[in-house]
Amino acid sequence: MYCTHETADLNIREKLAFTSPEQYAYAYREFKSQYPSAEAVFLSTCNRVEIYVAGEDPENVPSSQELARFFSEIHQVPLDDLLDTLTDEPDVRAVQHLFRVASSLDSMVLGEAQIVNQVKTAYETAQENNATGPLLHSLFQRALSVAGKVRTDTKLSEGRISIASVAVGEFAGSIFNTFSDKQVVVIGAGEMAEETLLYLKDKGVQNLHVVNRTEANAKKIVDSWHGNVQIHHLEQLDDVLVKADIVVSTLGTDKPFLDVDRMKPIRKASDERTLFLLDLGAPRNITSDVGQLDDNIFLYNINDLEQTCQRNRKARSVEAEKATGIVIQAVETFQHEIYHRTTGPIVKRLREHWHDISRQELERLTNKLDHLETKDRDEIERTIERIVNKLLHPPLEEIRSQSKQGTPHSLLETVKKLFHLHD
């Protein structure tokens, strides 16, 4: 059962999210106390909250209504608020969903690399809380393996597709080799500035200057920054730019505030050092002629980066088809294995039971008819075996057929009752 960025807005997802190890531990404790024989894994990311449950006996596994109530109770969210946002996928659809999620086919950013680690962490957390069992072990281990296969056999994760990641990863990465010794200036403190900071952090930036109209907003976006950070007012911008190697401008203005006349003295003071200027403002913050001021300025705006993003997005969607094929194949294989695991023992017992009966009756017959020759006895034995196999064929075929849609619990129970196949 789950809700994602496609089915629920951020408000609901935030309320249902698991944000700390203590919250996970509490949730697992509550789940195990209510459903001691069921297995569970909770997966919570910024774009989804999901709960996977499994059990050998379907009667011990919570239904979708029970799961919704469970969510409601542990997060103290009214059940009515959740009912339209939660989606329920049973059996093989749950397997397919998890394989797609782990392979980043269900992500907001197709092919993003973080989700597989998030799935792995969720699985490990469930293990630490003793909430998993053989079914979810198999399922999650297989999901991680499928994600690995998608990553190696397709180019789904190649090519960056967000403006900030293209700017930092592809363009800045084509200019600078190391970022830890570079002076990075971020102008503005909005969402785009925050997103760019994430990519700069990944690149190892240590020296950060944030320039903004208000100090308070600037402080918010550098809350979790590890490294040197200085906050400056917009009036100090020119002095800060003299030392800059990378400048990311994200200010919301109605006209550009950095032009050639302003940049000339700054460039002179900086000995025309190599400068990467990233203008993510809309309308633009920097006039385009600044890029022509000298040979060592590299100026990019949103339009320049969008082309690369679109090309990468197109490439990813082609790869998504390949990845989907891999997932479908993996689901079929997994289903086949689970079918054997759940139905195998019952099918085996049924066959053995019937063949035992046929052997006992054959022995009784041959004892009574001791005048029979060996070849006659063999022929009778073969005939009885054919009769047993033909009689067994319809129920076994039905079990196999129903297994394609998921474990046929009720059919298996019926078979056990009809033929007295006790555990």
Note whether 419 binds another protein by CB under 8 A.
no
Cβ neighbour number for residue 3 with a 10 Å cutoff:
21
Take residue 359 and report the two structure tokens written for it.
């052997």
Note whether 26 binds another protein by CB under 8 A.
no
What secondary structure does DSSP assign to 316-375, as a single string? HHHHHHHHHHHHHHHHHHHHHHHHHHHHHHHHHHHHHHHHHHHHHHHHHHHHHTTT--HH
Which parts of 260-299 interact with another protein (CB under 8 A)? 271-274, 291, 295-296, 298
In terms of CB distance, is 169 or 190 closer to another protein? 169
Note whether 308 binds another protein by CB under 8 A.
yes
Which of 311, 336, 393, 400 forms a contact with another protein (CB under 8 A)?
A: 311
3-state secondary structure of 207: strand
Which of 37, 65, 121, 178 forms a contact with another protein (CB under 8 A)?
A: 178
Which of 93, 133, 171, 219 forms a contact with another protein (CB under 8 A)?
A: 171
CB 73, CB 15: distance < 8 Å: no
Residue 44: enclosing H or E segment and its boundaries? Answer: strand 39-45
Take residue 327 and report the two structure tokens written for it.
């997932």
In terms of CB distance, is 167 or 189 closer to another protein? 167
Note whether 42 binds another protein by CB under 8 A.
no
Cβ neighbour number for residue 45 with a 10 Å cutoff:
21
Note whether 243 binds another protein by CB under 8 A.
no
Bridge partners of residue 99, in order along the sequence: none
Bridge partners of residue 209, in order along the sequence: 185, 230
Cα separation, 126 vs 257, in Å, equals: 52
**Least Cβ distance, residue 271 to another protein (angstroms):** 5
3-state secondary structure of 53: strand
**Least Cβ distance, residue 320 to another protein (angstroms):** 18
Note whether 173 binds another protein by CB under 8 A.
yes
**Least Cβ distance, residue 282 to another protein (angstroms):** 18
**Least Cβ distance, residue 274 to another protein (angstroms):** 5
**Least Cβ distance, residue 259 to another protein (angstroms):** 19
Beta-strand runs (E) in 85-169: none
CB 245, CB 182: distance < 8 Å: yes
Bridge partners of residue 211, in order along the sequence: 187, 232
Q: Cis check for the bond before 283: say yes or no (omega within 30 of 0).
A: yes
With contacts defined by CB under 8 A, name the span among 174-182, 249-257, 282-290, 358-366 that binds another protein: 174-182
In terms of CB distance, is 47 or 249 closer to another protein? 249
Note whether 300 binds another protein by CB under 8 A.
yes
Residues 6+ apart with CB under 8 A from 270: 241, 242, 243, 244
Indicate if 3 belongs to the active site.
Answer: no
Instruction: Give the contact letters, 192-231, x = binds to another protein (CB under 8 A), - = no.
Output: ----------------------------------------
Which of 121, 174, 180, 360 forms a contact with another protein (CB under 8 A)?
A: 174
Catalytic residue among 11, 30, 37, 46: 46
Note whether 395 binds another protein by CB under 8 A.
no
Note whether 152 binds another protein by CB under 8 A.
no
**Residues annotated catalytic, as ranges:** 46
The residue ranges that bind another protein (CB under 8 A) are 170-171, 173-178, 271-274, 291, 295-296, 298, 300, 304, 308, 311
